[in-house]
Structure 1
Amino acid sequence: MFFSVVIPTYNRLPILEKCVRAIARQTWHPELGIQAYEVIIVDDGSTDNTIEWLEAHRDEFPCVRWLQQEHLGPAAARNLGLQVAKGDWIIFIDSDLVVTETFLEAHVRRLIQEKQRLGIEEITQVPAFSYGRVINTCNFEEPTSEPYKVIDFSAAYFATGNVAIARHWLEKAGLFDTQFQLYGWEDLELGVRLKKLGLRLLKCPEAVGYHWHPPFSLSQVPALIQKEIERGRMGVLFYKKHPIWEVKLMIQMTPFHYFLWAILSLGGILNEKTLAPLLQWLINIGRPQDALEVARIFLNWYNVRAVYSAYQEQALQQPH
């Protein structure tokens, strides 16, 4: 088994350094049949000297190579990584994820377990992929010290923060759709196509990745709002490609979601301006995560409105 770890990145150099050092330190038992692995970093037009850092540390990470592209988004970046990948198995992680030394081994053990359960001789033919655990943390110095929390649970079927899959299944599904150039949904859209192929999701909590993000602050609010607007617009693109109820629920394009966030935000009265004093107070007393959860009241309202706005725009553009 030869693995290619594909990591798209955009202006995340400080945490990328930790990500690379962690993934480059993998260990495993010889009987698992792992031949080797490579790490492919695709720089999506960064302006923070990412490539210069990688070149300066070339000798430190012999298993790492990198590519550059214009800022085209993670879907295009992952596809570019797949084009040059040598592995028959692909692992996707994000560039702000710090994994443990047994991360790769854990994914392999879970896949072998499924192969044995099904009695399939060739492991790449196992109709499944393994999905590791992602633990969110604000601890930059020691991200792997963060415990698992209830809010870390994910019900996603296919998300590229921490997943291992045979290359041929990706090729059969058609890779990532590069129309998803704004924030959100490109991995879950591919997941819908993988589900149609009958692939089974294998939970693999032993393959742990620690997803770092800076502690919430009010300075982040404009960027978070923009992400929610982009996610709403890409959600409608997702639904256009797969007009099914499951996708409607994912992108929150239902009357229930619209009225839920309208009520919780008091029709927009509870917004980034009116809630700013409360958010800052929570931050000041050392509870930035609670502040972020409160902020989700207006962030989700932005998202739902963006969904409905994009859907209405699309309807107007269609010929009558």
Structure 2
Amino acid sequence: MSRLAASVVVPTRGGAKRLPVLLAALAAQDTDDFEVLPVVDGDIDGSEDVLRSWSHRLALKPIVFRENRGRAAALNAGAAAATGRIIIRCDDDLEPRSDFITGHVARHSGRRCGVVGLTTNALPDTAYARAYGRKANAHSITSALALPPKRTWRLWSANVSLAADLHARLGGYDARYRRYGWEDVDFGYRLHRAGVPIVVAPELIAVHHGASTTTAARAVRALHAGAARETFLAVHGPEALQEFDDGPLKSPPSLWDRVVAGTSSFVTERTLHAYGAAADAAVPRLPAAVAEKLIALAVESAGIAGVKYPHRARGTF
């Protein structure tokens, strides 16, 4: 019996309200040559019931962990149960186009590669979005599309695909990553080190509905992402981090750099929530450039604080 073209692996935790948007988009695909493997990483909100209600519309193969085991473990469990030739990782807060499956599969025709589809944030009309979020989103996509091939491994995250046998050869995602993020960057780096080209496919950009909508939410994520670098450093060494950061800093730090670094000393989750609320209240009354800097200070200093003080990232995602 021939294998399915693709298996879509969906790691999810607390995704009961997010999953219907994704499942509706997958049900509207222009092909049925695929299966969907949602992996519930500890059911805290009835996600299993949501998946059960969609079983008549999609080829669903749900996997439910009885306790939280982390995103890497969820991704690996989905890949282990997949029967498709191509494994597509799709986060539970995405809304892909109707040619999402066929587009990913087509990118693998005739070549061995990893494919990055990218995401674009759907932001509500908040003070954060107007002052910072929309501009940051546009800049992120422009920067991603401009990366040279040797740097695209850094983009491996929410909307990516790989041949199933290559996924198995790499050994899946590293379960040592239990903080927010970086299990995906680690996987992309190992693909890169194995000589597998990673192709960016702009036609596969998916709408991302789970983006931060406030300054505090965005800054806390930056804090946790900074803390997760500690694991990447321990696994791959400082040379890999330099490669991620485009090498060592070649010019003296600017005044802004010094302000951000100094502010990072005071960053905790509690201070970020307080600062973020104050910033979101203030930015509508400030000039656009000042408002953007006010939010950028929180986000950038939080990222540095996560690197310098990883123990300050206490919450869970």
Q: Which residue of 2 aligns with 1:109?
A: 106
Cα RMSD of the aligned pairs, angstroms, is 3.4
Q: Which residue of 2 aligns with 1:131?
A: 116
More displaced 10-residue stretch of structure 1: 178-187 or 7-16: 7-16
Is the Cα contact below 8 Å between 2:261 and 2:304 reproduced in 1?
no
Q: Which residue of 2 aligns with 1:199?
A: 196
More strand by share: 1
Indicate the SS of the match to 2:117. Answer: strand
Q: Which of residues 103, 113, 138 is equivalent to 1:149? A: 138
Instruction: Report the TM-score, using the length of structure 1 for normalisation.
Output: 0.75
Deviations 1:267-294 (A, max 9, x none): 3589744564442243689x9xx96874
Structure-to-structure mapping, 1:199-218, within 5 angstroms: 199-213=196-210, 216-217=213-214
The alpha carbon displacement at 1:159 in A equals 1.5
Q: Which of residues 165, 168, 182 is equivalent to 1:185? A: 182
Indicate the SS of the match to 2:227. Answer: helix
Q: Which residue of 1 aligns with 2:280?
A: 279
Q: Which of residues 4, 13, 18 is equivalent to 1:15? A: 18
- Structure 1 residues 89 and 283, CA, compared in 2 at 3 Å: closer, same or farther? farther
CA distance in 2, matches of 1:239, 1:263: 25
More displaced 10-residue stretch of structure 1: 72-81 or 45-54: 45-54
CA distance in 2, matches of 1:291, 1:8: 35
The one-letter code of the counterpart of 1:301 is S
Q: Which residue of 1 aligns with 2:61?
A: 65
Paired residues in the alignment total 281
CA distance in 2, matches of 1:294, 1:213: 23
Runs (5+) with no aligned partner, structure 1: 29-34, 116-125, 141-145, 312-320
The one-letter code of the counterpart of 2:99 is T
Is the Cα contact below 8 Å between 2:156 and 2:187 reproduced in 1?
no
1:241 aligns with 2:226: no
Indicate the SS of the match to 2:115. Answer: strand
CA distance in 2, matches of 1:258, 1:303: 17
Structure-to-structure mapping, 1:302-313, within 5 angstroms: 302-310=302-310
Deviations 1:41-77 (A, max 9, x none): 001113121111111232132x122111121221110
Q: Which of residues 26, 29, 35 is equivalent to 2:29? A: 26
- Structure 1 residues 292 and 94, CA, compared in 2 at 3 Å: closer, same or farther? farther
Is the Cα contact below 8 Å between 1:232 and 1:251 reproduced in 2?
no
- Structure 1 residues 136 and 224, CA, compared in 2 at 3 Å: closer, same or farther? closer
Instruction: Report the TM-score, using the length of structure 2 for normalisation.
Output: 0.76
Is the Cα contact below 8 Å between 1:253 and 1:304 reproduced in 2?
no
CA distance in 1, matches of 2:93, 2:119: 11
- Structure 1 residues 294 and 7, CA, compared in 2 at 3 Å: closer, same or farther? farther
- Structure 1 residues 282 and 182, CA, compared in 2 at 3 Å: closer, same or farther? same
Q: Which residue of 1 aligns with 2:315?
A: none
1:3 aligns with 2:42: no
The one-letter code of the counterpart of 1:170 is H
The alpha carbon displacement at 1:251 in A equals 6.9
CA distance in 1, matches of 2:88, 2:204: 11
CA distance in 2, matches of 1:65, 1:293: 46
Runs (5+) with no aligned partner, structure 2: 126-133, 312-317
Is the Cα contact below 8 Å between 1:131 and 1:203 reproduced in 2?
yes
The alpha carbon displacement at 1:130 in A equals 1.7
The alpha carbon displacement at 1:250 in A equals 3.6
CA distance in 2, matches of 1:98, 1:36: 19
- Structure 1 residues 39 and 82, CA, compared in 2 at 3 Å: closer, same or farther? same
- Structure 1 residues 265 and 257, CA, compared in 2 at 3 Å: closer, same or farther? same
Over the matched positions of the two proteins, sequence identity in percent amounts to 21
Q: Which of residues 94, 97, 104 is equivalent to 1:97? A: 94
Is the Cα contact below 8 Å between 2:112 and 2:196 reproduced in 1?
yes
The alpha carbon displacement at 1:216 in A equals 2.0
- Structure 1 residues 179 and 260, CA, compared in 2 at 3 Å: closer, same or farther? farther
CA distance in 2, matches of 1:283, 1:75: 39
The alpha carbon displacement at 1:305 in A equals 2.4
1:45 aligns with 2:42: yes
The one-letter code of the counterpart of 1:152 is I
The alpha carbon displacement at 1:296 in A equals 3.6
